[in-house]
Amino acid sequence: VGEAPAAVSCARCGTVAAPAPLDWSCAREDGRERWLCPPCTRENVRSIEGRLDEAWW
Ligand SMILES: [Zn+2]
């Protein structure tokens, strides 16, 4: 079990939370961690389902 980050910031809206809340989602892309707060996680899922993803890489 790895240690939780001391602080995380949302990749979409920039909200910062410390320590990393359990209800935030973390995705690994190209070895980097992308954190999303719950509202942005929902928005992200919706955009993926709608194939409206932004410049994702
Ligand atoms: Zn957010």
pLDDT tens figures, 23-55: 999 888 888 888 999 999 999 888 877 765 555
pLDDT at residue number 2: 61
Which DSSP string do the residues of 10-53 spell out, in sequence order? Answer: BTTT--EESSPPTTSEEEEETTEEEEE-HHHHHHHHHHHHTT--
Q: How far is the CA of 29 from the centre of ligand 1 (A)?
A: 17
pLDDT at residue number 56: 52
pTM higher than 0.75 for the full model?
no
Q: How far is the CA of 56 from the centre of ligand 1 (A)?
A: 15
pLDDT at residue number 11: 93
